Structure 1
Amino acid sequence: MKFFGILLIFLVFWSSSFAAPVEHKLESASCNSCNLIVEVAHDVLGDDALDDCIVDFISWICSALKIEDHFVCKGMVGDFKEQFIYVLQELIVEPKEICGLLVKGCDGGFDPYNATWFLPMPGVKPPHKTPTPIPSGKPTLRVLHLSDLHVDNDYIIGSEAKCDEPLCCRPPKDTNEAFVQKKDIAVPAGKWGTVGDCDAPYWLLEDMMKDIAANHKDITVIHSRLIMF
């Protein structure tokens, strides 16, 4: 039954993708179609056993709506399968919560982005206490704090720094020359990194560590929340 439910959702989305722009007189039909899709999806996701067709369907929706490219959608959904299923189960409760966002005027125009959300906070916030000043003359420590060092081992100097993927300055994920159109480099990646959607080249990290070791020998503590992503 789950397979046929997924197939029904797929067919409705497929037919909708070829539909003409929605006019006012067609909003009711679009709203009804949206409600049907959400209800079927909720019934399918409500089962205890979930197979891989759910992940494939979410990945297809991600690609069809051009949220990200095919490679990003497939990898993202595959890595966060359980999280996607949980969020969908929590969100798709009443059709109006989704359809009010997707279809203008559907079910009174419910807008989740502007709705009032309540977030209960545990306990009571303790009163603020002014810290006691540290007496002068006390020994001090030199602390080196390293945090969030985004290093890309695939960084390529001169590659596109302004691309259509989440991470640039590296080879494109789709290397099929039959489908990839070669474009002129708009923003070339610099040798020591580029401001934008790029991580740092590994030689930047190496050079930084060498400089720290050579010029900051009086460091007492090295602290890092996370060395590399």
Structure 2
Amino acid sequence: MIRLSAPEGIAVWQLALDSTIPSDCLSPEEEERAARFRFARDRHRYRACRSALRLVLGEALGVAPEAVVFTYGPYGKPECELTFNVSHSAGLALIALGAEGVDIEKIRQDIEPKTLGRSVFTATELAAITTTEDFFDAWTAKEALIKAEGGGFSSPLLKRTVWPTLEPELAEHYDVIRLIPEPGFAAALAIRQIKKAARQVSGGS
């Protein structure tokens, strides 16, 4: 795993899902879920991502990876006593510890950004999108914020301006930060403002 640059108090790891990660820490429920994937590659990637997540959380909690206990929110999002979020795309995953939302997407060149963007972006966002890279920067920012807010694809945030800057009302509650993963990918992090205030009080950035 590679640790990416992130704000003070936030840790973000980049994981190649086709790499070898010890998976003997998974729970029976996780092994059962892995077995439901049709293709071996998908089974391996699920095990790798969940095992890496357990390693990261276990180290932060001071417990063995297999001792980490998850609960699940209304959208099936795994939760534990620490704030974290996970995203993956095309064999690459991000694990963000201390942040409510993270998103990574493989940048595809076979799309028409303006046409595809009409269903997910505001007029302000569409006006700022001039390249495929812009589209994915905007999409990962919005998706990270939707995940932080806890909604799904019906989230009202689809109708709010998130990129290239947050509209003022949203900026009162969240920070959205662009991450730099490996070339060919776009990624973003969403953090509640209360965490930003806590970092400032403690002397962080």
Give yes or no for TM over 0.5.
no
TM-score range, shorter chain: under 0.3
Instruction: Give the TM-score normalised by structure 1.
Output: 0.20
CA radius of gyration, larger in = 1
Which is richer in strand? Answer: 2
